[in-house]
Amino acid sequence: MPTPTKGPRLGGSPSHEKMMLQNLSASLFEHRSITTTVTKAKRLRPYAERLITIAKKGDLAARRKVVGQLSAKNSTNQAIVHELFTVIAPAMAEREGGYTRITKIGNRKGDNAPMAVIELVMEPVSPKQAVVKEAEQAAAAQVEEEPVEEAPVEEAAAEEPTAEETTEETSEETEDK
């Protein structure tokens, strides 16, 4: 979990905030999209993205870590962890970050609290981004393979006419006219 902010936390105590984040992330992984307050969505984003990053590893240690952070003691949360490792993490394999999207939707009717929808970004990475990334890698590999050759300073100086030669040429041209 990220470093908690100073001051009041969601729900009052740190343990209650931790439980709220666990429940919100379990709901997010189960439904792919949830509606909550903007504050809760902003606190949930790094927590859920860290769980997805851990799940992308796919090994037993990663699964145990996610189970510990999702409190998957009941069968529903165990099914959510299984879905996270078998469906969500492979879908996010190409993506390097930004697994969630927060969209503000206005205020709640009862208490006028600002609401937001937080959802998993399940679309594949756009082909344009992949092409740009491949081009950058190819350019970096080419720069490493072929060092830039510098022209010798002596040759460059010999090819350029000196100031005296140019004045002589111009004076000859004026005499001819």
pLDDT of residue 99: 93
Q: 169 falls in which pLDDT band (50, 70, 90)?
A: low
Give the 3-state secondary structure of residue 121: coil
Q: 153 falls in which pLDDT band (50, 70, 90)?
A: low
Tokens of residue 16, six digits: 């209650």
Q: Which residues of 77-93 are buried (b: 16+ CB within 10 A; e: fewer)?
A: beebbeebbeebbebbe
Q: Is 165 exposed, middle or buried (0-12, 13-18, 19+ CB in 10 A)?
A: exposed
Do residues 115 and 108 lie in contact, with contact meaning Cβ atoms separated by under 8 Å? yes
Average model confidence (pLDDT) across the chain: 82
Q: Taking residues 164-177, report their average pLDDT.
A: 57
pLDDT of residue 107: 96
Q: What is the pLDDT of residues 8-60, one digit of tens each?
A: 778 778 888 888 999 999 999 999 999 999 999 999 999 999 999 999 999 99
- Between 169 and 49, where is the model more confident? 49
pLDDT of residue 158: 52
Do residues 115 and 100 lie in contact, with contact meaning Cβ atoms separated by under 8 Å? no
Structural domains for the chain: 14-129 (3.90.1030.10)
Q: What is the pLDDT of residues 116-150, one digit of tens each?
A: 999 999 888 777 766 777 788 888 888 777 655 66
- Between 1 and 106, where is the model more confident? 106
- Between 44 and 154, where is the model more confident? 44
Do residues 14 and 58 lie in contact, with contact meaning Cβ atoms separated by under 8 Å? no
* Interatomic CA distance for residues 124 and 92, integer angstroms: 8
Q: What is the pLDDT of residues 50-101, one digit of tens each?
A: 999 999 999 999 999 999 998 767 778 889 999 999 999 999 988 888 999 9
pLDDT of residue 150: 63
